Amino acid sequence: MVFPASRSARLACCAAALLTACAGPASGPSPASRSALAPTGAPAPAAPSAFGGVAAAEGDRGPLGDFCGWYNDDLPQSMDTISGFLGAFAVADGDYGDPRVEGLAQGAEQAAGEAADTLNDFLTGFPNDLSDSARRAVLALRDALAALASAVRDQQGPERVNAAVALFDDAYKALRPACAA
């Protein structure tokens, strides 16, 4: 599977590969197995969130404080672990029992869960002058990671995993203007 250069794009690509072969027809699920995973055009269930999709502004960098360091330095490590699982999950047609997925699922669940816990800590420490859009984006990021950890722990199907990753991707991109390195 060939991954895009940016981590966010890799996550989105791996999630999309669950339902469409964004990595290419030779490495993704076959059209027959994809249709078994989810009908084409079927909406994925949404992860719960108060996210409005509005990007955080550069002016939020100060109020976000240490969060931007975590976003740029630590979160990418979690994303790498999660991307590895998503890639294997897509190739295995969403089969948690597949040997390619078994070892990676626990790591992805742990990485997503720990990141969600870290985000909870950040959310309790943000100052009042943090914009509503930045706060909502961080909440959405936390919700997405918690939903992903839950989906993997409960061995939920590709639709639920894909919904969590889609929310993650939107929230991650919304925080980029404030935390660009």
In the chain, domain spans: 7-26+55-179
pLDDT digits 0-9 by tens, 80-105: 999 999 999 999 999 999 999 988 99
At 5, the pLDDT band (50, 70, 90 cuts) reads low
Instruction: Give the tokens for residue 174.
Output: 């919304």
Q: Is the pLDDT of residue 111 over 50?
A: yes
For residues 148 and 62, what is the distance between their CA atoms, to the nearest angstrom?
Answer: 29
Instruction: Measure the N-to-C terminal CA separation of the chain; round to a whole number of Å.
Output: 28
Average pLDDT (159-174) is 93
Which residues lie closer than 8 Å to 89 by C-beta, 6 or more apart?
A: 14, 18, 96, 101, 104, 105, 158, 161
Instruction: Give the tokens for residue 64.
Output: 């976000």
Q: Is the pLDDT of residue 49 over 80?
A: no
Q: Is the pLDDT of residue 107 over 70?
A: yes
pLDDT, position 44: 40
Phi/psi of residue 50, each to 5°?
-100, 15
Q: Is the pLDDT of residue 114 over 60?
A: yes
Q: Residue 12: name the closest of 181, 171, 178 by CA.
A: 171
pLDDT digits 0-9 by tens, 124-162: 999 988 999 999 999 999 999 999 999 999 999 999 999
pLDDT above 70 coverage of the chain, percent? 70
Asked if residue 127 lies in contact with residue 52, where contact means CB atoms within 8 angstroms, the answer is no
CA 18 to centroid of chain Cα atoms: 13
pLDDT, position 58: 80
At 31, the pLDDT band (50, 70, 90 cuts) reads very low
